[in-house]
Amino acid sequence: MIRIYGIRNCDTIKKTLAWFADQRLEIEFIDYKKTPPDEALLRTWLTQLDWEQLVNKRGTTWRKLPEEQRDTLTEAGAIEQMIANPSLIKRPLVDYQGSVSVGFDEAHFTRLVAQAR
């Protein structure tokens, strides 16, 4: 099953969920606000993605962090911040059979759907 992580009211998540609905493929949506990722899950994702790929540096949550904290953030600090502020994680995060990706990528989604069928 394809798991999609994000925040329900995010426009990119709405676009992603609509895309998958159009494909008539069953997905599981996990809302960061209702089920925030724990350290173990974040570390699993970080085996495939660099923490800088996982952190949404364009969002309000990032901009609200003190500049000094943003400038000196390490992987450990990023994990701590993503646990405390799941909105800091890029959306969507898509997990299919343990392979993870971030962002809306229709070509990638098309490949996932082909594999899932």
Residue 25 has pLDDT above 90, yes or no: no
Report the pLDDT value the prediction gives residue 106, as an integer from 0 to 100: 93
Tokens, residue 75:
């992987």
Spell out a b/e string for 66-75, using b for 16 or more CB atoms within 10 Å of the CB, else e: eeeeeeebee
Please tell me which residue in 2, 10, 78, 89 is annotated as part of the active site: 10
- The rounded mean pLDDT for the chain is 94
Structural domain boundaries, residue 76: 2-116
Number of domains forming the structure of the chain? 1
pLDDT, position 60: 92
- The CATH number for 105's domain is 3.40.30.10
10 is catalytic: yes
Give the confidence band of 88 by pLDDT, cuts at 50, 70, 90: very high
pLDDT for 117:
79
Average pLDDT over residues 84-109: 94
Model pTM score = 0.92
